[in-house]
Amino acid sequence: MIIMSTVTISAQDINKLRQATGAGMMDCRKALTETNGDFEAAIDWLRKQGQKVAAKRSDREAKEGVVIAQTTADNKSGIVVCISCETDFVSKNTDFIAFAQSIADAAIANNAKTAEELGNVKIGSVTVNDLINDKLASIGEKIGITKYERIEAPYVASYIHGAYRIGVLVGLSSDAAEVGKDIAMQIAALNPVAVDASSVSAEVIAREKAIIMDVMKEDPKMAGKPEEMLAKIAEGKLGAFFKENTLTAQPFVKDAGKSVADYLKESGNITVTEFKRVALG
């Protein structure tokens, strides 16, 4: 014999669960029904549904989302985080943007150093990981913290570009809000690989050299030239790569007649200590 539940699920109960989890009204009603009105059990039920959605969609690509760059009130540190989802329908939703912002706020408030650490941070009584599972159950898409960066410096500036599609952090040697904004916009637009040639990783340099050498070897004009000569030409081409792809050597976006290095010098010999750029996709 099947015993039917006689628990009455009120609109107030449903709304309370919605406020606590962010899940949809019908999902909250079902959760409370399935758990005979037990509020805590209903929360667990929704999270389990979120985990099931995550498992089902584990092979799906989450190329959309929201990128938020934010600094502490004293501008001594900052974070940039990407909360990904599958569709722009979700990423452009104001509720999802607010959800991403709440995670960024928690990262700042708790000084989270890594994405893993952020996942265990609590917002109220619930961890960020559990909130993500709640959201999974609510929207039915694969979502998560896919990118997370953090920097510290005497002054950190942040910038969000293109409707939350790119986030930038810039560390400066001294307090200079306007300079920080200009440099962050430069990084968002031109995507440099490093601050200057000396800070380009050995891996990037080796890869660029290999590409340059391969291109030259396939050029009929280079046929028969000794390896030593090709290596010297490659060094010259590598210099051009540094000029185009390192921050301080790039033309300044607001005045192409000067380099970023020139702009920084004119602004009081400010130096860029490091930067982070996070983009969707």
Domain membership of residue 22 (yes or no) is yes
Write out the residue range of the structural domain in which residue 45 sits: 11-56
Residue 4 — pLDDT band, cuts 50, 70, 90?
very low
* Percent composition of the chain: helix, strand, coil (DSSP 3-state, to 5): 50, 20, 30
Kindly tell me if the per-residue pLDDT of 89 is higher than 70: yes
In the DSSP assignment, the letter for residue 220 is: G
Domain membership of residue 150 (yes or no) is no
Domain membership of residue 36 (yes or no) is yes
Greater confidence (22 vs 115) lies with 115
Kindly tell me if the per-residue pLDDT of 218 is higher than 70: yes
Residue 2 — pLDDT band, cuts 50, 70, 90?
very low
Token output for 245? 């792809």
Contact 144, 83 (CB under 8 A): yes
Alpha-carbon distance of 123 to 110, in angstroms, equals: 10
Contact 36, 61 (CB under 8 A): no
Rg of the chain in Å (alpha carbons): 25
Alpha-carbon distance of 222 to 216, in angstroms, equals: 6
Number of domains in the chain: 1
Domain membership of residue 201 (yes or no) is no
Token output for 27? 């999902």
CATH number of the CATH domain containing 29: 1.10.8.10
pLDDT given at position 1: 35
87: region left, alpha or beta (phi > 0 left; psi from -120 to 50 alpha): beta
Task: Note the pTM of the prediction, 2 decimals.
Answer: 0.75
Domain membership of residue 220 (yes or no) is no
Domain membership of residue 156 (yes or no) is no
pLDDT in tens, 24-54: 778 788 888 888 888 888 877 876 776 555 5
pLDDT in tens, 162-177: 899 999 999 999 999 9
Domain membership of residue 40 (yes or no) is yes
Domain membership of residue 25 (yes or no) is yes
